[in-house]
Structure 1
Amino acid sequence: MSYKENKSHEEKASGFKKNDLILVLLVFAAAGIFFAGHLFTSQKSAGVVEIQIDGKVVETLDLQKERAFKINGGTNTVQIENGKVKMAAANCPDQICVHQKAISRNGESIICLPNKIVLKIVDGEEAELDAVTN
């Protein structure tokens, strides 16, 4: 068997050629461009945040108006900034609600269990991920 025939046989045996590698890289590059475009064009703000205390809606606020205020007799401080809402402070022992990221998409929520407070985004852009992974 000659060198050329041996090389051709090895390429067929491996099943992966230089052109295949180029094709795979182009597909990944195109997918990355589409993903980045989707990520940057879908950063719209949500509409309003609903504040619930002990299961009852006590206030509904527009996320476009920046402010910080105390709720539930001063046990918690809510902050609205840049179209997002977060729990800025709470007197609960675990501080889980304070450490959660700011929310802005429809269906997202921040819950302070000890104080029975729920901040929930309503009437906004649909969340891209389900509640389990979001």
Structure 2
Amino acid sequence: MKSKKNRNDFVLILVLLAVILIGFLIVRLQRQKDAFTVDVSVDGTTVATYRLDEEIDTWIDGYQGGQNHLVIQDGCARIEEADCPDKLCVKQGTVSESGESLVCLPNRVVVAVK
């Protein structure tokens, strides 16, 4: 009796793990199918929107004449160059997932993946 109960528990756990794995795969495939967009805003105002699956190489005119060089390539966005003093926006690296962003405070530039 106890052996049968343990086997049933084991089967139940396997079924639950299979359902979780299938759900995870469905969500992951759906996210890959949908192309994310990159919203570029300066001082709180959206100035451009790009698709993350495009190849973009552009300069962003920031607050009070500051400039940031935005590159979108291979599904990732990064700030290649900036004329701000600390260059923290350049050091942030790349973003590619929804909710991630690059921020340049001196130039008031935000690059957000949606």
Q: TM-score range by the shorter chain?
A: 0.5 to 0.7
| Pair member with larger Rg | 1
- The runs of 5 or more residues in structure 2 that have no matched partner are none
The 1:26/1:104 distance shift into structure 2, 3 A limit, reads: closer
Contact (CA 8 Å) 1:50, 1:121: kept in 2 or not? yes
Equivalent AA in structure 2 for residue 111 of structure 1: V
Query: 1:24 & 1:65 partners in 2: Cα distance?
Result: 43
- CA deviations on 1:108-130 (whole Å, 9 max, x unpaired) are 532211321112356xxxxxxxx
Query: 2:39 & 2:12 partners in 1: Cα distance?
Result: 49
Paired residues, number: 107
Contact (CA 8 Å) 1:66, 1:80: kept in 2 or not? yes
Equivalent AA in structure 2 for residue 69 of structure 1: T
Identity fraction in percent: 25
Q: Whose strand fraction is larger, Structure 1's or Structure 2's?
A: 2
Runs of 4+ in 1 over 4 A off after TM superposition: none
- The runs of 5 or more residues in structure 1 that have no matched partner are 1-7, 123-134
Equivalent AA in structure 2 for residue 52 of structure 1: S
| TM-score using structure 1 length | 0.58
**2:43 maps to 1:51:** no
2:21 counterpart SS class: helix
| TM-score using structure 2 length | 0.66
What is the aligned partner in structure 1 of residue 106 from structure 2?
114
